[in-house]
Amino acid sequence: MKARLRSYAGLMLVPALSILLALLVASVLIIASGLVGTEKKVNLLLPLIAYRSLIVGAFGNFKGIANMVVAAAPLMLTGLAVGVGLKAGLFNIGATGQVLSGGLAAALIGMQVADAPVLIAIPVAMLGGMLAGALAGFIPGFLKAFTGAHEVVTTIMLNALIQLIVSGLVNDVFRAPGFSFARTAPVGSAELTGLGNTTLHLGVIFALVCIPLSYWLLWRTTVGFEIRAVGANPTAAFYAGMKPRRMMILTMSLCGAFAGLAGAIEVLRLGYYPAVFGTGIGFDGITVALLGQSNPIGIMLSALLLGAMRAGAPLMQIQARVPVEIIDVIQGIILIFLAAEIVVRKIFRLRTAGVGAGELQTITRTYGEKVVG
Amino acid sequence: MKKLYIVVVALIAASFVLSACGTAAPPAADELKIGVVTDVGQLEDKSFNQASYEGGKAAAEKLGATFDVIVTQNISDYKQNIQTFVDQGFDVIITVGFLIGTDTAIAAKENPDVKFIGVDQNICVDEQGAPDATFTCAGDAATLLPNYQGILFAEEQAGYLAGIVAGSISKTGTIGSVAGTSLPAVVAYIAGYEAGAKSVNPDIKTLTQEVNPDPAKGFNDPATGKAIAQQFIAQGADVLFQVAGLTGQGVLEAACDAGIYGIGVDVDQVQTLPNLSKCIVTSAEKKLKDTIQAVAESAATDEFKAGEVFYNAASEPPAIGLSPYHDLESVITPEIQAKLDDAFAKMKSGELKPPRK
């Protein structure tokens, strides 16, 4: 038990220190932003006011907490879409495209079930989103398994391709008449409306269920064991009688399903698919997965952290008058420190531990490896 | 190593203590508060977001009100951003762009004591005053939501004036226009522009192209803007009108490179792009800042108008017009100016109505 706790502490050390360093670096930028802002003076307390208003905005009242959870829910799913892939030794950069295809599918299916009872319409539309996302994940998985095409290359290309296809479909084929801008028809009862006076919606439950589910899948089932074995060493896994190719396809499809569900939640929350549906949740998933060290619990916590920053951002802009872009900057710096783990370890003079290195290996590995089996 | 940890812990502890005393005292409860929720994008967009910010700020300064802005990053954040201002006790909330209109209408219904000003927003509500997804617009917005005004501009009138300039100064008889995304306002500008050009030269050839149906790309892609402009120039165009936000910078740059004329949009673009002043002959302006400021000031009085309000040549102050010609004053001959003055007067009186589509 004690050893296990220690290993968790080891897992959390670098992410925690990365967050701390990022906040410190961002402090300098926040102070600098005061120079060009409305006040035009150096205020050394500005970072503290900003961080405090972020915290108050996210945790100050129930509405804030609801906003945080609502912002975190899709990030948990895209975090899983990247994190589960990393466990199998696959770096899924395609979450963006998978989110878009899941979102469009959910909007189109939502239109069909717009008059059905809410408890049927919502799950059906979400399932459609998951399947579309899974398909978008299946393609790079299949290409990797049978042609050796590296998933980083194929998923990046698919992102661009899916974006254009989806935008074309919304602008021409599925464009609803009567609106001044390109969008699909309303999804009616499939819309995820806020409960009471908050933004909290049913989709959050779907995201929260996926966390223990993926934990159980990875560590309590044979499939999960095979996924992790293939990730650790595909050749060894093959000689142990596993089927690495099948596992890769399965894992990428699963990752796509998570991302597709994230897209479905975001779109059903709006109630329609707008042509302008640009979203950062796909790429933010990479930050979430690395910050969470590909561990479902870690992913949940990381998503909540990023969600808290999004929920606190409006209040930060009013109380501290710090530009909202600072949130993206903080996220970016966290990612830099996570990727340059060695820098963090140097600054805090930590030993280079084996934990957490697996993900980085996957990310930095060059492509061209041949898959056996 | 241990020392370092102690320092870090001490820093964190200090930060919480300091942040507790570092916050300013909350302003008096009866003070007027004006807030702006921008459209997705950046505050300094040299267009709607910036003009709404500046107009709101100018009104706040005149009224002695508190002023703040929340920049929207994602279209699903509109509601949360408006709600933050409501929760903080703001009295006047200016929301920017047509996409935020639905959430503004909902907020206006929920908070009858708060005044909402929607820049570039149609208001379409059902009999209960809720946003109408079917676009029947059966409800009368002005009576159902007396605390909400949608500001709209007669872009076609500004475009018409720009068209008179283009048609008059073109030597090749070919003029071009670049649309970021074919939104109603953009279409109106270009329809007015082409009608204006034809009013002075019935044989003029007009080229036009939409950059991208997705506004996030259509208005943010200077490279594509430049490429389209170069194509038009190759086809003989010698005046280019850009209605494409940041994309339009590329259009105007291409015009400068080729030594032909460019016409800016929304604001005086010689001010926003001073390095291109040698080829921007004028800009088709919506007087965004002045209009928004006037409406924000009216929100503090009983003169606040509800419902959709169209601002045009007849508005006071005039809501559309052409920018000063700056370096290119000599290009606009007295005859051209006379035609412009005549058209403006006719639009003001309602005699001339350029097409919106």
Q: Under an 8 A CB cutoff, do B98 and A318 touch?
A: no
Q: Under an 8 A CB cutoff, do B43 and A323 touch?
A: yes
Residue B336 has pLDDT above 50, yes or no: yes
Q: Are strands B261-266 and B280-286 parallel, antiparallel or unpaired?
A: parallel
pLDDT in tens, A48-60: 999 999 999 999 9
Measured CA to CA in angstroms, residue B218 lies from B186, B210, B248 at distances of 11, 8, 10
**Six token digits for residue B210:** 């939409």
Q: Where are the domains of chain B?
A: 33-153, 155-285+325-349
Residue A274 has pLDDT above 90, yes or no: no
Q: Is residue A68 exposed (0-12), middle (13-18) or buried (19+ Cβ within 10 Å)?
A: buried
pLDDT at A14: 86
A190/chain B closest Cα distance in angstroms: 15
A245/chain B closest Cα distance in angstroms: 38
Pick from B75, B85, B213: CB nearest A182? B213
Q: Hey, what amino acid is at B33?
A: K
Of the listed ranges A125-134, A336-345, B315-324, the one predicted with least confidence: A336-345
Judge whether A332 lies within some domain. yes
Strand partners, A183: A274
pLDDT in tens, A11-22: 788 899 999 999
Average pLDDT over residues A102-111: 96
What does the mean pLDDT of chain A come to? Answer: 89
A21/chain B closest Cα distance in angstroms: 10
Distance CA A185, CA A112 (A): 10
- Which residues of chain B does A51 touch, with a Cβ-Cβ cutoff of 8 Å? 15, 19
Distance CA B176, CA B233 (A): 8
Pick from B18, B133, B214: CB nearest A45? B18
- CA-nearest of A212, A245, A211 to A90 is A245
Distance CA A209, CA A203 (A): 10
For residue B80, report the phi and psi dihedrals to the nearest 5 degrees: -60, -40
Strand partners, B283: B264
Residue B123 has pLDDT above 70, yes or no: yes
Q: Which CATH architecture has domain B33-153?
A: 3-Layer(aba) Sandwich (3.40)
3-state class (DSSP) for residue B149: strand
**Residue span of the structural domain in which A295 resides:** 2-364
Pick from B69, B85, B213: CB nearest A275? B213
Pick from A45, A178, A314: CB nearest B81? A314
Check: CB of residue B95 under 8 Å from CB of residue B106. Answer: no
What does the mean pLDDT of chain B come to? Answer: 89
Q: How many domains would you assign to chain A?
A: 1
**Rounded to two decimals, what is the model's pTM?**
0.82
Interface of B with A in 69-98 (CB under 8 A): 69-71, 73-77, 79-81, 83-85, 87-88, 98
pLDDT in tens, B258-278: 999 999 998 889 988 899 999
For residue B150, report the phi and psi dihedrals to the nearest 5 degrees: -100, 120
Residue A259 has pLDDT above 90, yes or no: yes
Q: Under an 8 A CB cutoff, do A278 and B216 touch?
A: yes
Residue B24 has pLDDT above 70, yes or no: no
Distance CA A56, CA A314 (A): 11
Q: Is the dihedral of CA A340, A343, A345, A347 positive or negative?
A: negative
Pick from B22, B74, B135: CB nearest A279? B74
Residue B136 sits at the chain A interface (C-beta within 8 Å): no
Residue A127 has pLDDT above 90, yes or no: yes
pLDDT in tens, A69-84: 999 999 999 999 999 9
Task: Give the list of residues 6+ apart from residue A27 with CB closer than 8 angstroms, or none.
Answer: A47
The interface predicted TM-score of the complex, written ipTM, equals: 0.80
Residue B2 sits at the chain A interface (C-beta within 8 Å): no
Distance CA B327, CA B282 (A): 10
Mutate to test the interface with B, among A48, A69, A321 (most CBs of B within 10 A): A48
pLDDT at B124: 86
B73/chain A closest Cα distance in angstroms: 8
- Which residues of chain B does A69 touch, with a Cβ-Cβ cutoff of 8 Å? none
Q: Under an 8 A CB cutoff, do A20 and B1 touch?
A: no
Of the listed ranges A233-237, B17-21, B113-117, B118-122, the one predicted with least confidence: B17-21
Q: Under an 8 A CB cutoff, do B4 and A349 touch?
A: yes
Percent of chain A with pLDDT over 90: 65
Residue B131 sits at the chain A interface (C-beta within 8 Å): no
Which chain B residue shows the shortest CA-CA distance from A50? B19
Average pLDDT over residues B232-253: 94
Judge whether A370 lies within some domain. no
For residue A221, report the phi and psi dihedrals to the nearest 5 degrees: -125, 160
pLDDT in tens, A281-303: 999 999 999 999 999 999 999 99
- CA-nearest of B131, B100, B135 to B118 is B100
Check: CB of residue B174 under 8 Å from CB of residue B236. Answer: yes
Q: Is residue A199 exposed (0-12), middle (13-18) or buried (19+ Cβ within 10 Å)?
A: buried
Judge whether A55 lies within some domain. yes
Burial B141-175 (b: 16+ CB within 10 A, else e): bbebbbbbbbbbbbbbbbbbbbbbbbbbbbeeebb
Which chain B residue shows the shortest CA-CA distance from A47? B19
Judge whether A170 lies within some domain. yes
Residue B66 sits at the chain A interface (C-beta within 8 Å): no
Pick from A45, A277, A314: CB nearest B84? A314
Distance CA A21, CA B289 (A): 41
A231/chain B closest Cα distance in angstroms: 35
> Quick one: which H or E segment has residue B36?
strand B33-37
User: What DSSP string describes B258-287?
Assistant: HT-EEEEEES-HHHH-GGGTTTEEEEEEE-
pLDDT at B25: 44
Q: Under an 8 A CB cutoff, do B22 and A199 touch?
A: no
pLDDT in tens, B39-61: 987 888 777 898 899 999 999 99
Interface of A with B in 164-223 (CB under 8 A): 167, 171, 178-182, 186, 199
Under CATH, which number does the domain B155-285+325-349 receive? 3.40.50.2300
Q: Is the dihedral of CA A142, A159, A337, A302 positive or negative?
A: negative
Distance CA B226, CA B240 (A): 11
Pick from A199, A279, A323: CB nearest B80? A199
Pick from A63, A180, A348: CB nearest B122? A180
Higher pLDDT pick, B256 / A2:
B256
Residue B6 sits at the chain A interface (C-beta within 8 Å): no
Assign residue A129 a region: left if phi > 0, alpha if psi is -120 to 50, beta otherwise? alpha
Pick from B42, B70, B75: CB nearest A314? B70
Residue B74 has pLDDT above 90, yes or no: no
Check: CB of residue A362 under 8 Å from CB of residue A90. Answer: yes
Average pLDDT over residues A168-173: 88
Check: CB of residue B337 under 8 Å from CB of residue B171. Answer: no
Q: Under an 8 A CB cutoff, do B81 and A318 touch?
A: no
Pick from A52, A61, A266: CB nearest B19? A52
CB atoms within 10 A of CB B122: 15
Q: Under an 8 A CB cutoff, do A181 and B79 touch?
A: no
Residue B308 sits at the chain A interface (C-beta within 8 Å): no
Alpha helices in chain A (DSSP H): 2-36, 46-59, 62-87, 95-112, 118-147, 151-168, 203-220, 222-232, 234-239, 244-270, 281-291, 296-319, 325-339, 341-347, 357-364
Of the listed ranges B124-128, B216-220, B245-249, the one predicted with least confidence: B216-220
Query: Rounded to a whole number, what is the distance in angstroms from the first to the last CA of chain A?
Result: 38
CATH of the domain at A82: 1.10.3470
B213/chain A closest Cα distance in angstroms: 7
Measured CA to CA in angstroms, residue A99 lies from A36, A140, A289, B205 at distances of 36, 15, 16, 44
Mutate to test the interface with A, among B7, B15, B76 (most CBs of A within 10 A): B76
B200/chain A closest Cα distance in angstroms: 31
Q: Is residue A350 exposed (0-12), middle (13-18) or buried (19+ Cβ within 10 Å)?
A: middle
